[in-house]
Structure 1
Amino acid sequence: MNPQKHALGIKPNLYQFLWLVFMTILVGMTVGLERTVVPLLGKNVYHITSITIIFAFVIAFGITKAVLNLVAGHLSDKLGRRPILIVGWLLGIPMILLLLFVHSWTAVIVANVFLGANQAFAWTMTVTQQLDLAGPKQRGLAMGINEATGYIGVAISTTLTGIIATHYGLLQAPFVYGALVLFFGLGTSLLIIRETRGHVIKEANVSSLKSMEVKTEKPAKVGVGRILWTTTIANPTLSACSQAGLVNKLADTLVWAMLPLFLAGLHVSIVNIGLIGGTYTVVWGFAQFGTGILSDIIGRKPPIVTGMALLGLGILAFGLVHSLMGWIITAAVMGLGMALLYPNLNSAVADVAPPEMRGGVLGVYRLWRDGGYAIGGLLLAFTIHLMGMLHSLYLIGVIVLVSMLIVLLRMKETHSRRSLNV
């Protein structure tokens, strides 16, 4: 076997790494096509008056994505990354067909089940494959690039669908664009993307030699239940990261599901709602090119804590301002907070996870993280009914700051000088 075939690092794997970057942009564009359109579709086209029913689409998405993250991670460790990626894009086909041709709110909710499955399988695999290729020395950089390009894709769709909906309506035109994105994603995964489990075996062997362990297969026998327990409760760092991941998705649910309705209630135009949401995701996306590298230099914990502080304060400030420029600035602060914390939570989890169990551990982390969409949708539906949108916004801001304190107290730094030399 050619010893360079599974060399670790971005440079020796640049061709595949760049195609995975393109793939991640497409995955982000797929979920981003709903961020401006769907809440307004429920309110303005289907005339849904119940906040709980409107938020049902994000709850359905969150539950599906959370559970299937766990399945995707476990299966990818057994069957390989590429088959799971392809299945993810295939699961996007019913989503687009429902949104294009079945015009009811029930169809939107069912479509979001398939969207959750698409994202769980496809985005989880782009993350995992890029981490496989990069190896431990460039894990923060790889994670930053993945999340940056994914949320650039989200930003593109968030802004573009607002423009499309303004000119051609909310009902169908934005989803024609979505069908084109899906076509390119499936085609690329079938024709170009290659399997990366050989790189995992290489990294596991290197790690084994460094730690003087002989039986590298033993950790792979750990069951899903044990991985779930360790990631959720037993390991303080993984536990802190998991709750922080869940809470940051509470915040993202706020931006995705509630803020378009909040701003529409203040008579903000669809284009400007898309601009505000796009600012949040553009800053989140582009800043991650730097925040991933930053964590490879200063460690994971400082940017995570700083990011949660900026996110929480940005949410609180969003409710205090009353102008387009004020909302854009506070959205940018929230996006910068997300850029600091989001990729580095993933990197911290990957630092702690043994290479041959990485898919499973990341799957559990993403189970809790994306479960935040479902919990966030339910929590916001309840609190909006109880105390209105503005106070619900303030509540989420406070929850983010409390979560920051938990990370500060429980999480240990995961990226030591020794791990840089692996």
Structure 2
Amino acid sequence: MPNGKKISRNVFFLGLTSFFNDWSSEMIFPILPAFMAEILGIPKSLIGIIDGVSESLASILKVFSGYLSDRLGKRKNLAVFGYSLSTILKPLLAFAQSWLAVFSVRVGDRIGKGIRTAPRDALIAASVDSKKRGRSFGFHRAMDTLGALFGTLTTFILMKYILGPQSHRTIFALSIIPAVVGVMFIIFGAKETKTVTPGEKPKLSWKTLPKNLRILVVATFIFGIGNYTFTFFLLRIRTMGIAMAIVPLVYLLYNVVYSAVSYPAGILSDKIGKRTVYAIGLGMYILTALGMAFFNSPTWAWILMASYGLHMRFTTATARALVSDFAPEEIRGTALGIYHTGIGIADLPAGLLAGFLWQLYSPKVVFSVGAILATVSLLIILTIKEK
């Protein structure tokens, strides 16, 4: 275990892996919605299905990969395989000519994420004591988001000054470079931390989870239905008057805010309580969603994307730390897998809901419904008593 305020070796190298992996992913993500909608001509409803189905199918693997890591007592190899799979598949978007090609790559990439997420988070949790989990997950998310910042800035520079506004495919291909670097860091830097003794067989069962953890999973599932994939936020700021070439810059602001507050917010959650910080984050989402629903100027697009960055930091890493605190060590990988799977499964109805509400009504209806679902989740979270 690390002492004092030091970040453990595993947390540091896993942070570097996430930094480079997100550098790769966020070279792609800010321009992917426009690539689908404006270049391939994919309808918004079908974009919602692509996002929802790919996230949900992949998320089913999270509970099984977490469970498998508990059974084996090992986390690193599964995480390495998941990162490697995504690294190979993401650049193939450069060759996509149809919605089916985009869907296939997205599913494969998300499967890689599904395999690696729970074992990686369990490895982070096992590398520190409970009093430092908030800051450790905060550091990891800060590195993750800092990589996203670099990726977004890379795409902006390439598209604006070097390759031109129609250079989507070249950027997709170049994204393999930082991804490979990230895989090298986890292979040669992270160390296995065995947490389950031979012969132990953790049960894959909802009933094995503590009550607080079950409440948390239910609340995050409900919130997940209204917390639409980022694709719809990027599509929304386009309708608020943000030019295509400027979208990566607005997304860059989101990542700057997210990265800047990640580690301090993690420390705050260790001091005042993770449930409290998570509830604050849900409140931020409610305000952001209402802003997305009722404001339409480019100025508000910038403000709301910054607000969304604050929300994401106060909820994402904090929830993982909460799950790790609530779950006994011998089922922690399984518990994290169930948590991530719940969120991922919610992505399917979320994508379908957002896509069809947008197609049939308007963005105002889409984000108003999101605010309502987040409010329900917040009320449930407030019933949890954190030890």
TM-score (structure 1 length as normaliser): 0.83
Q: Give the % identical residues.
A: 22
Of 68, 84, 94, the match for 2:61: 68
- Which residue of the partner structure matches residue 46 of structure 2? 53
What does 1:206-285 correspond to in 2, within 5 Å?
220-224=200-204, 226=205, 228-231=206-209, 235-250=210-225, 252-254=227-229, 256-285=230-259
Deviations 1:27-55 (A, max 9, x none): 3334433331111011111112x222122
Of 155, 159, 178, the match for 1:161: 155
Distance in 1 (CA, whole Å) between partners of 2:104 and 2:176 is 17
1:299 is aligned to 2:310: no
- Which residue of the partner structure matches residue 363 of structure 2? 389
Given the superposition, is the C-alpha separation of residues 262 and 314 from structure 1 closer, same or farther in structure 2, using an over 3 Å criterion?
A: closer
Alpha-carbon offset, residue 141 of structure 1: 1.2
CA RMSD of aligned residues (A): 2.5
Distance in 2 (CA, whole Å) between partners of 1:33 and 1:124 is 24
Q: Is the 1:45–1:171 Cα contact (8 Å) retained in structure 2? A: no
- Which residue of the partner structure matches residue 189 of structure 2? 192
Letter in 1 for 2:182: G
Letter in 2 for 1:289: Y
Of 95, 98, 107, the match for 1:113: 107
Alpha-carbon offset, residue 346 of structure 1: 1.1
Letter in 1 for 2:328: P
Given the superposition, is the C-alpha separation of residues 25 and 126 from structure 1 closer, same or farther in structure 2, using an over 3 Å criterion?
A: farther
Letter in 2 for 1:51: K
- Which residue of the partner structure matches residue 146 of structure 1? 140
Alpha-carbon offset, residue 156 of structure 1: 3.1
Q: Is the 2:76–2:192 Cα contact (8 Å) retained in structure 1? A: yes
Of 334, 338, 346, the match for 1:372: 346
- Which residue of the partner structure matches residue 104 of structure 1? 98
Letter in 1 for 2:265: T
Q: Is the 2:28–2:175 Cα contact (8 Å) retained in structure 1? A: no
Alpha-carbon offset, residue 159 of structure 1: 4.2
Secondary structure of 2:242's aligned partner: coil
What does 1:390-409 correspond to in 2, within 5 Å?
390-409=364-383
Of 149, 169, 172, the match for 1:175: 172
Given the superposition, is the C-alpha separation of residues 370 and 31 from structure 1 closer, same or farther in structure 2, using an over 3 Å criterion?
A: farther
Deviations 1:305-324 (A, max 9, x none): 11101111122123333333
Given the superposition, is the C-alpha separation of residues 151 and 246 from structure 1 closer, same or farther in structure 2, using an over 3 Å criterion?
A: farther
Given the superposition, is the C-alpha separation of residues 16 and 258 from structure 1 closer, same or farther in structure 2, using an over 3 Å criterion?
A: closer
Deviations 1:275-321 (A, max 9, x none): 22232233223212111111111111211111101111122123333
1:44 is aligned to 2:38: yes
Secondary structure of 1:221's aligned partner: coil
Q: Is the 1:311–1:335 Cα contact (8 Å) retained in structure 2? A: no
Deviations 1:67-113 (A, max 9, x none): 11112211222331111012112212442352133433211111111
Letter in 2 for 1:412: K
Distance in 1 (CA, whole Å) between partners of 2:251 and 2:225 is 16
Letter in 2 for 1:333: S
Distance in 2 (CA, whole Å) between partners of 1:92 and 1:9 is 34
Secondary structure of 1:412's aligned partner: coil
Alpha-carbon offset, residue 404 of structure 1: 0.6
Given the superposition, is the C-alpha separation of residues 11 and 75 from structure 1 closer, same or farther in structure 2, using an over 3 Å criterion?
A: farther
Deviations 1:347-380 (A, max 9, x none): 1111111112111111101110222322211111
Secondary structure of 2:192's aligned partner: coil
Of 116, 130, 135, the match for 2:129: 135
Distance in 2 (CA, whole Å) between partners of 1:349 and 1:175 is 34
Given the superposition, is the C-alpha separation of residues 313 and 83 from structure 1 closer, same or farther in structure 2, using an over 3 Å criterion?
A: same
Distance in 2 (CA, whole Å) between partners of 1:23 and 1:307 is 26
Deviations 1:166-207 (A, max 9, x none): 44324312213311122112222333322122xx36xxxxxx
Given the superposition, is the C-alpha separation of residues 393 and 12 from structure 1 closer, same or farther in structure 2, using an over 3 Å criterion?
A: closer
TM-score (structure 2 length as normaliser): 0.90
Structure showing greater Rg: 1
Of 286, 302, 320, the match for 2:260: 286
Letter in 2 for 1:240: I
Deviations 1:235-294 (A, max 9, x none): 44213321343355445534x111222233344212332222232233223212111111
Distance in 1 (CA, whole Å) between partners of 2:255 and 2:222 is 17
Unaligned regions of 5+ residues in structure 2, if any?
none
Q: Which runs of 4+ in 1 moved over 6 A?
A: 10-13
Given the superposition, is the C-alpha separation of residues 151 and 296 from structure 1 closer, same or farther in structure 2, using an over 3 Å criterion?
A: same
Alpha-carbon offset, residue 331 of structure 1: 1.8
Deviations 1:212-257 (A, max 9, x none): xxxx889x53411x2x3444xxx44213321343355445534x11
Of 298, 318, 321, the match for 1:344: 318
Distance in 2 (CA, whole Å) between partners of 1:320 and 1:160 is 32
Unaligned regions of 5+ residues in structure 1, if any?
1-6, 202-215, 417-422
Count of residues paired in the alignment: 383
